[in-house]
Amino acid sequence: MAFLLQNLLAQKTGKILALLLAAACFVQLVMNGSISQESWTEKKYTKIPEPTVVLVWHWPFHTEFTPREDVCLKLHAIDNCILTRNRSMFDGADVVVFHHRELQTNRSSLPQQTRPPNQKWLWVSMESPTNTKRIHQYNGCFNWTMTYKADSDIFLPYGALKKNDQPSNFSIPKKSGLLTWVVSNYRRTSLRAKVHANLSKHIDIQMYGRAAGTFLPSERLLPTISRYAFYLAFENSIHKDYITEKIWRNAFIAGSVPVVLGPPRENYERFVPPDSFIHVNDFASTEELASFLTALSTNRTRYEQYFNWRKTYTVKISTEWTERLCNICTKFHELPQQKIYHNLHSWFHQQ
Ligand SMILES: *[C@@H]1O[C@H](CO)[C@@H](O)[C@H](O)[C@H]1NC(C)=O
Ligand SMILES: *[C@@H]1O[C@H](CO)[C@@H](O)[C@H](O)[C@H]1NC(C)=O
Ligand SMILES: *[C@@H]1O[C@H](CO)[C@@H](O)[C@H](O)[C@H]1NC(C)=O
Ligand SMILES: *[C@@H]1O[C@H](CO)[C@@H](O)[C@H](O)[C@H]1NC(C)=O
Ligand SMILES: *[C@@H]1O[C@H](CO)[C@@H](O)[C@H](O)[C@H]1NC(C)=O
Ligand SMILES: *[C@@H]1O[C@H](CO)[C@@H](O)[C@H](O)[C@H]1NC(C)=O
């Protein structure tokens, strides 16, 4: 009998049983370590050849956080890397970091001082071009970039795979539902909402998020998703390399098989194994996709094949801004010392 159906029936025999199942499942996940959000860079000690000062002009999203100057050493084992928000250190800064969101309105937020000759200005954005406005005004302004685009000076993906030293003990979380989607920013006219609407005519999709009237607090996010066989990792906009936490965290860390809507399959395959995800474009219609998922959910052997890669790789995700920013120091001495993004806008929009 279908493994999913068994679990679904069990759940229907009573809420208490379902709750117990969920609790057991969560405990199992924690024990497997599959929910642990391990950090992205290696924690091995790295000493930067010369003291390097990274001045963050606005902390991303204007949080009040002020790093201690030794944060890179204390938290990330990167020595000789000074991360600061102290603007009086402008003249001595090797890199000044600008996160696009805080610059989006106009150029008035840029430093007014003259730039020291060898100082690098680094442009940072984790958002896609669709959600990154008024880039033109910064053409000819920056020397380096740090974004999710693989051809950035510093590539900052939402996640990455690390090869295991020995086969891992990953085990698939217990499943009690078929397919789920968690969406915070729902627009009926978006491509992902249309695909979801079409798909839901042929298969049962449990939707979570404000739009669905079922808001999930962050600590419930992964335990909830992990109970479903499949997760709709639908990007909000389609751009090369724009492969976000929707697949890395929501699907992979939770232990649910991602059904992706985003750049073409070949682009995903640059970063993740071909048999780790299902691509919407692999099917001629949403109806075919629905039948495929339904069939897959009733064949445990076939379903488990989507987890084979877990023996070889562990998923790492990047969430901490201090970690991302300290990492600039480790890249600093490898990057081109003379560079200007004359047309930042076209570089960022290039597919
Ligand atoms: C900021 O840097 C300046 C120049 O190095 C220093 O004099 C000042 O004490 C620093 N301010 C803070 C709050 O650390
Ligand atoms: C520039 O942007 C800032 C906010 O970043 C705003 O307060 C200011 O009014 C803007 N200036 C102009 C000329 O639009
Ligand atoms: C996996 O299981 C083996 C045997 O039970 C154990 O020796 C090993 O430490 C485990 N590895 C991890 C990464 O938990
Ligand atoms: C949704 O289904 C309709 C009717 O079958 C089809 O015309 C349309 O192209 C589909 N849209 C998407 C985004 O899948
Ligand atoms: C389940 O999938 C396996 C592997 O793809 C296949 O060999 C087997 O025939 C399938 N079983 C059923 C009942 O379809
Ligand atoms: C950095 O970019 C600015 C602005 O285009 C330019 O004037 C400066 O020469 C560049 N600096 C380096 C070290 O490439």
Residue in 169, 311, 314 to alter for ligand 3 test, most ligand atoms within 8 A of Cβ: 169
Mean pLDDT of 153-174: 93
Tell how far the Cα of 309 is from the centroid of ligand 3, in angstroms. Answer: 17
Band of pLDDT at residue 63, cut at 50, 70 and 90: confident
**What is residue 167's predicted lDDT score, i.e. its pLDDT?**
85
Dist CA 280 CA 260 (whole Å): 6
Decide if pLDDT at 4 tops 80.
Answer: no
**What is residue 319's predicted lDDT score, i.e. its pLDDT?**
81
**CA nearest neighbour of 55 among 94, 113, 103, 111:** 94
Mean pLDDT of 75-96: 96
Dist CA 33 CA 48 (whole Å): 32
Residue in 106, 109, 138 to alter for ligand 2 test, most ligand atoms within 8 A of Cβ: 106
Dist CA 210 CA 309 (whole Å): 33
Return the top range by mean pLDDT from 17-21, 70-74, 244-248: 244-248
Nearest Cα residue to atom 3 of ligand 5: 302
Please give the structure tokens belonging to residue 238.
Answer: 């389609």
Provide the mean pLDDT of the chain.
89
What is the reported pTM?
0.86
Choose, from 127, 287, 323, 334, the residue flagged as catalytic. Answer: 127
**What is residue 245's predicted lDDT score, i.e. its pLDDT?**
96
Please give all residues whose beta carbon lies within 6 A of any atom in ligand 2, as ranges. Answer: 105-106, 108-109
Decide if pLDDT at 26 tops 50.
Answer: no
Decide if pLDDT at 267 tops 60.
Answer: yes
Decide if pLDDT at 123 tops 50.
Answer: yes
Mean pLDDT of 277-284: 98
**What is residue 42's predicted lDDT score, i.e. its pLDDT?**
59
Tell how far the Cα of 171 is from the centroid of ligand 3, in angstroms. Answer: 12
Nearest Cα residue to atom 5 of ligand 2: 105
Dist CA 104 CA 59 (whole Å): 14
Mean pLDDT of 40-44: 64
Tell how far the Cα of 136 is from the centroid of ligand 3, in angstroms. Answer: 52
Tell how far the Cα of 261 is from the centroid of ligand 3, in angstroms. Answer: 35
**What is residue 39's predicted lDDT score, i.e. its pLDDT?**
53
127 assigned to active site: yes
Nearest Cα residue to atom 6 of ligand 3: 169
Residue in 57, 62, 105, 107 to alter for ligand 2 test, most ligand atoms within 8 A of Cβ: 105
**What is residue 168's predicted lDDT score, i.e. its pLDDT?**
86
Please name the residue that has the structure tokens 């739009």.
Answer: 211
Residue 179 vs residues 27, 96, 202, 220, 233: alpha-carbon distances, Å: 22, 44, 12, 17, 11
Q: What value, to the nearest 5°, has the Cα angle with vertex 33 and ends 322 and 170? A: 125
Cβ atoms < 10 Å from Cβ of 303: 20
What is the number of the ligand closest to the CA of 68?
Answer: 1
Tell how far the Cα of 324 is from the centroid of ligand 2, in angstroms. Answer: 28
Mean pLDDT of 205-222: 93
What is the Cα gyration radius of the chain? 22
Decide if pLDDT at 68 tops 90.
Answer: no
3-state secondary structure the chain: CCHHHHHHHHHHCCHHHHHHHHHHHHHHHHHHCCCCCCCCCCCCCEEEEEEEEEEECCCHHHCCCCCCCCHHHHHHCEEEEEEECCHHHHHHCCEEEEEHHHCCCCHHHCCCCCCCCCCEEEEEECCCHHHCCCCHHHCCCCCEEEECCCCCCEECCCEEEEECCCCCCCCCCCCCEEEEEECCCCCCCCHHHHHHHHHCCCCCEEEEEHHHCECCCHHHHHHHHCCEEEEEEECCCCCCCCCCHHHHHHHHHCCCEEEEECCCHHHHHCCCCHHHCEEHHHCCCHHHHHHHHHHHHCCHHHHHHHHHHHHCEEEEECCCHHHHHHHHHHHHCCCCCCCCCCCHHHHHHCC
**What is residue 18's predicted lDDT score, i.e. its pLDDT?**
38
Please give the structure tokens belonging to residue 162.
Answer: 């690390």
169-311, what's its fold?
A: Rossmann fold (3.40.50)
Mean pLDDT of 79-84: 96
Dist CA 116 CA 10 (whole Å): 67
First to last CA, the chain: 46
Nearest Cα residue to atom 5 of ligand 4: 198
Nearest Cα residue to atom 1 of ligand 2: 106
